Structure 1
């Protein structure tokens, strides 16, 4: 039998070519997309939960009582109310840390501590430490002060008092008020804290 005579017979008995199952492919694709979407939503929820601020997680914070939701909302009314509240200062300090300007709050707190001193030896010691930590141009935590204020400090350091850094403290307070405070109120740190407090109040 010749090759040409065998060809028709083989053609008749050869199995038909199977076409891809389009429905199966589409279902698998849709299923994969749905799973991916669910996974992304779960990851987003986990990220949001991780961003929630909790006072007990803030390192090296001042001792304070847990603020109420009303207290936290009052922090948005004025910078003065925020700074007079220990819990408010802790949260604001945590925000400043994320902006690499925590030294502003640390300097302000050190000045407040100095004002409470009555011992001359302790006043001189604390004033020297404040100068070395926040005023000296060699310090990595140097705060931003204008030349006039620096000259005043240099003169007062010859005989330090509890109010040696008063002008500098006011300048840093104003800087935090005008520059950092507006961003703090719009930050995830503050918003998540208020929202978390509101949820706790409604659940209880």
Structure 2
């Protein structure tokens, strides 16, 4: 629950480090992201503190379509729903009966979930990127070029050309691992998934 809220309300702006993107690494990541104009998958998410103690484990499903359309649903009992229609992002928390709606601006496109469905032509403007390849797996380390952030690093891993997992590490060493399974690329998706209508009686907060 903590992560999905941060995916909505926080921009990834990691502490600057001495890392510079190799043009080949940027081109490779751009190619892999652009290759999948639509994606759907199940995900499992595990969050650990700096000492390795488990804090939270959740699962759910996601669907995306470029550019900027995104659906991310976390299963009960910690159910939350995040939907982007390309113009705004809606976060629905059934427990609180609350909907938070934010404009999809450049800050939000730098968050890890929306990064997968955003405008990849701008990725090099926001991140320093390095890559490491082993067999059919390639890992990309993304280091934001701005300061004051909740995260220190973001790793995107691809297996056989498809997104496989993500890992985020924050300034106190807390790690969030997201594993994608049953990944399907470039299949038709129901566009109604990207239109959110607030449930009757829900509190709606516009930001």
TM-score (norm 2): 0.23
The structure having more radius of gyration, on CA atoms, is 1
Judging by fraction of residues, say which structure has more helix: 1
TM-score between the two structures when normalised by the length of structure 1? 0.23
Higher relative contact order (CA closer than 8 Å, sequence separation 6+): 2
Higher strand share goes to which structure? 2
